[in-house]
Structure 1
Amino acid sequence: MLEFINHIFQTFGATVVVPIMIFIVALCLRVSIKTAMMSAFYAGVGLTGFSWIISAFTPIVTKIIKQMVNNTGIHLPIVDIGWQAGSLATFGSTVGLSFFVFGLILELVLFAIGWTKIFMPSNLWNNFGFMVWGTLAYYVTHNFWLSLGLSFFMLLYTLALAETQADRWSNYFGVKNASVCSLHNMEQAVPAILLDPLWNLLGFNKVKMTPETFKTKLGVFGEPTTLGAILGVIIGVLGNLKSLNTLSAWGQILSFAIALSAVMTIFPLVTDVFSKAFSPLAEEIDNKRSKDEVATDGDAEELAIKDKKRWFLAVDDGVGYGEPATIIAGIILIPIMVLIAFILPGNKTLPVVDLISIPFMIESIVAITRGNILKVICNGVIWFSLGLYASSWLGSVYTGAISHYGVAIPAGIVLITSFNLMARPLNALIFAAWISKNPVWIGLTIIVYLVFVVLLRTRREQIWLYLKKMSEKNAGFNGSTEKIM
C-alpha cells in the first residue's frame, strides 16, 4: 500500500495531488462545484508558476553565489543543494511513507476532535517536512517507532505554533481564516515573538523600513521591480569582484539584475493567482459563523479573535512569498547570510540553492512584525545563524540519509544539506532529544509541548490580542490593506 501511494504521488506530483486535495476540501465545505474546480485549477497553476520561476532562477543565483565563494577563497565542507533532495528521499523511506498515510489520518482526527484549529490536510504536500526528520532519526537510530513518533510529535508542535501565529498571518497577508503550517517555516514565530520587546527597546518599531516607505521616499527606486534590479547589481558585483574590468562580468551582473527584478515582479502576480485557490474556501469558513458574530469593519478583527469557533485552513507558503515586505527582506538576507556563513566561527555550512527560499522562511516573522523589514532582517540574522550551526551538526546525518534513500550526491561535494530544512535550531534540539533515546529528554519535549497547548487552549484570545497589540507598535505599514503589488 505504501509503495502504491508513493508511486501515485511520484507519478502525478504536487501540481496535481494538491489541487485534487483542494477540490475535495472545497466540496466538504459545500462550496459549489464550479468554485471548487476553479480553486483546484488556481492551485495547480500557482504551484506550476512557482516551480517554473524557482527552477529558472535557482541555477542563476547558484552560479553567482559560487563565484562569491571562489572570490573569498573560503570553502565550507557542507553544501546546500536545496530542499528538493530531502523531499524526494522521504518518499523512499518506510518511515516517511508511513507518516504520509497515518499522519494525514491523525491530522483529520486532531481537527475533528478540536485539538487543533488548523485544518492541515489542505496543505498535504508540506507533510514531507515532518517525514524528513523521521527519516533522519531512523537512519541514526534504526528504531522505526521512535522515528515515526518523532514525526508525529513535530506535527503536533507545528500545529500549536501555526495556531499561535494564525491570526496575525491571516490578517497581514489578507487571506481570511488561513495560515501557513509547514514544519520547516514555522519555528521562526518563536524568535519573532520572544525578541520583539528587545527590538522595541532599541526603537526598531519606530523605524519606517517598509515597502510603502521605500515607495514613498525613493519613488521609482522603491518599487519592488527596481529594488530587485538594484539588489541584483550589488550581488552580481560581489560575485565578480575579481573581474569587474571585463565585459563578460558586467554582462553577467546586468543579466542577474534583470533576472532578480523579474522574480520580484512576477512572483507577486503568481502569488495572486495561487491565493485565489484558497480565498473561496477561507470565505466559506467565514460565512459559516453564526449571524450574531457578524460585525462592522471597525470591530470585526477583535470579534474574530474572540470567536471560539474560528478555525484556519492550512495553505502553502507560496501564498505569501510575493508580498512586498516578504520578498524584499528575503532578497536582502541572501548576501547577508552568505557573508555570515563565511565569518561565523565553527560554521561548516555554505547556503546556496535554498537561499531563494528565504522569503518562505520569514513569512511568520513578517506577519508578526507587521512588515517591519528591519526587524525581519535582525530576527533572520540571529535565527538563521543559529540554524547554520544546526545544519553543520546535521551535515553527515543528512548526507548519509539522503544518499541511503537513493538521491545522488553532486560530483565534487563531500557533504550536503538543505538550508531550508536543516537550518532549524528548535527542530534540531527536538531531534537531538529524541535520537538520544533518553526518556528524560524525550519526556521533557512532550511536557513543554503539553504546557504550551494548555496555555494556548485556555489563553488563546489573550495571546492573539497581545500579538495584535505587539504588531500595532510597528510604524507605517498595515499589511494586507496597504500591499504594493
Structure 2
Amino acid sequence: MSIITSAVQYILDLGASAMLPIILTIFGLILGQGFVKSFRAGLTVGVGFIGINLVIGLISSYAGAAAQAMVDRLNLSLNVLDVGWPVAASITWATPIAVMLIPLLFIVNMIMLALNMTKTMDVDIWNYWHLIFAGGVIYYATGSLPLCLLCALIHAVVTFKLADWTAPAVGSFLELPGVCLPHAETVAWAPVCYALNRVWDKIPGLNKVDVTGDTLKKKLGFIGEPMFLGLVLGLVIGALAGYDSKQVILTGVNMAAVLVLLPRMVSLLMEGLMPISEGARNFIQKRFPGKEVYIGLDAAVATGHPTVVTVSLIMIPITLALAIILPYNRLLPYADFAVLPFTVIWAVVASRGNIVRSVLSSSVMMCGILFIATNMAEATTAMGKAVGFAFPEGATQISGIDASCHILVWVFAKLCDPANMPMFIAGIAVAVIYFGLWYWTRNDVKAQVEAANAAK
C-alpha cells in the first residue's frame, strides 16, 4: 500500500499541466490516434494549461496584491485565513482516503457511461481532488470510512449529471463543442445561476439591460474591447489599493494583458484537445452507434472567455466589500482571488454574457461562498491539522474561496452532524432548495442553446 500511495502521490505532484499530457497520450493511443498525434495533442494541452496558469498568476500577483493592500488600508481583523486552492488541494491529496477514491471515482464514471447514466468521460484526474474533498471533510468530521466514501461518490455522481446538463451551453456559448466541465466547485453553481437569471428576467428595467462584451465593443469601439476594459479595471483596483501612480499603471497594463492573453492560451489548449475529442467521438460511435460522449475537462478551458475575465476582475473589490459588510463573515479573502475566473463562469454563461446580470449573480454567489467559508472553517482547519499542514504564523483557522464553492460538501457536513439540529435542518433545507432550483431550471440550458442556434 505504501508503494502504491507513493506512486500515486508522485503522479499527482506533477500537477495538471504534466499529468494531462500523459493521460491524453495514453487516451489517444487507446482511441487509435497513433503515438505522434496523441503525444502532440497531449503536450499541446499541457502547454496550454501552463500558459493559462501563468496568465492567471498575473491576477494573483497584481490584483491579489492590490486586494491585500486594500485590506491593510482598511485595517481588517477577519480571523479565518484564505490559504488558496493549492493548499486545499494539497491537504485533500494528503488524506488517507485519496488513494482509495481515485480508482473508485474512475470506476463509477465508467460504470455510469456503460449504463448510459452519464455522457461525461472525466479525463481531468488531477481535479478529482474536488470530489475527494467531500470525503475528506466527512472523514475527519465523523471518522467513518464508509460514510466518507459514500459522500464522495454521491458528490461525483451529481457532478457528472450537472456536467451532462450544462454541456450543451459549454459547446454553444463557450464554443467548446464536445466538452463538459465536471469541475465540482464551478458547475455546482449552475442551477443557482440559471435560477437567478430567471429572477433578473422578472425585474422591470433590469430585464431590459443587455450589456455584453460584443455590445460594448460595437457601441464604444476600442474602449469597449477587452484589452481596454482590463486596463480600466486594473487602474481602478490599483487606485483603490492606494498605490502610487507607477504601481497603478503597472496593475492596469497587467490586467489588460490578462484579458488579451487568457483567451489565446485557451485557444492553444483547445488546439491540442480537438484531435482527442474527435478520436473519442469516432471511437464511441463505431462501438456504440448513436451514443454521445462529452470529454470532461478542467474549467480552466472556460476562463478565457472575455466576459468571464472581465466579471472576475469586477468581483475583486465587490468580494472585499462583501467580506467587510456581511455580519456573519470571518474569512479574509486574499489567496483565492486568482480563482474568481472559475467562480463566475456559470453566472456569465447563464446570463448569456450579460455583464450586469453576471455581476449581480456572482455577488449573490459570493454571499453564499463567504458563509460556507466561515461556517466550514473549523472542519477545514481540522483536516489541515490532521495531515500536518504548516499553519502560517498567527493563523488559527483556515478556509478559502475555492474550497467554499462546494455547496454539496457543506450539505453533506451538516447532514452528517444530526447532533447540531439547527444546522442539520439547514442542510436539509439547502438540499431541497438546491435540487428544487435545478428541477425548476432543468430546461433552461436547452432553451438557451436553441435560442442561440435560431439567432445564427
Under a length normalisation based on structure 2, what TM-score does the superposition of the two structures give?
0.88
- Partner of 2:328, secondary structure, is coil
Q: Identify which of 46, 52, 68 aligns with 2:70.
A: 68
Q: 1:444 to 1:398 in 2, by over 3 A?
A: closer
* Corresponding residue of 1:270: 265
Q: Is the 8 A contact 1:6 1:91 kept in 2?
A: no
- Partner of 1:75, secondary structure, is coil
Q: Is the 8 A contact 1:116 1:159 kept in 2?
A: yes
Q: 1:289 to 1:41 in 2, by over 3 A?
A: closer
Q: Is the 8 A contact 2:31 2:283 kept in 1?
A: no
User: Does residue 22 of structure 2 align to residue 40 of structure 1?
Assistant: no
Note the C-alpha offset of 1:375: 1.8
Note the C-alpha offset of 1:394: 0.7
Q: Is the 8 A contact 1:90 1:97 kept in 2?
A: no
Note the C-alpha offset of 1:431: 2.7
Note the C-alpha offset of 1:60: 2.9
* Corresponding residue of 2:199: 198
CA–CA separation in structure 2 for the residues paired with 1:284 and 1:463: 30
Aligned alpha-carbon RMSD (Å): 3.1
* Corresponding residue of 2:248: 253
Q: Is the 8 A contact 2:284 2:293 kept in 1?
A: no
Q: Is the 8 A contact 1:383 1:425 kept in 2?
A: no
Note the C-alpha offset of 1:149: 1.4
1:321-357 CA distances to partner (integer Å, 9 max, x unpaired)?
A: 1111111111111111111111112111122121121
CA–CA separation in structure 1 for the residues paired with 2:55 and 2:391: 24
Q: Identify which of 334, 342, 347 aligns with 2:329.
A: 347
* Corresponding residue of 1:303: none
* Corresponding residue of 1:393: 375
Q: Is the 8 A contact 1:78 1:414 kept in 2?
A: yes
- Partner of 1:175, secondary structure, is coil
* Corresponding residue of 1:378: 360
Note the C-alpha offset of 1:196: 2.2
* Corresponding residue of 1:223: 225
Aligned positions, number: 444
Q: Identify which of 239, 242, 252 aligns with 2:241.
A: 239
Q: Is the 8 A contact 1:368 1:471 kept in 2?
A: no
CA–CA separation in structure 1 for the residues paired with 2:58 and 2:390: 21
CA–CA separation in structure 1 for the residues paired with 2:206 and 2:157: 33
- Partner of 1:119, secondary structure, is strand
- Partner of 1:59, secondary structure, is helix
CA–CA separation in structure 2 for the residues paired with 1:30 and 1:437: 54
Q: Is the 8 A contact 2:339 2:402 kept in 1?
A: yes
Q: Identify which of 337, 340, 343 aligns with 1:361.
A: 343
- Partner of 2:278, secondary structure, is helix
- 1:11-90 alignment runs, 5 A limit: 11-90=13-92
Note the C-alpha offset of 1:61: 2.7
* Corresponding residue of 2:447: 469
Q: Which moved more, 1:200-209 or 1:177-186?
A: 200-209
- 1:60-459 alignment runs, 5 A limit: 60-120=62-122, 122-202=123-203, 203-240=205-242, 249-286=244-281, 309-436=291-418
CA–CA separation in structure 2 for the residues paired with 1:209 and 1:63: 29
Note the C-alpha offset of 1:5: 3.3
* Corresponding residue of 1:295: none
Aligned residue type for 2:348: V
Aligned residue type for 2:445: L
- Partner of 2:262, secondary structure, is helix
1:46-95 CA distances to partner (integer Å, 9 max, x unpaired)?
A: 12222333345423333211211122222211121210001111221111
CA–CA separation in structure 2 for the residues paired with 1:35 and 1:263: 30
1:436-465 CA distances to partner (integer Å, 9 max, x unpaired)?
A: 499x98x979x979x99xx99xx9xx955x
- Partner of 2:63, secondary structure, is helix
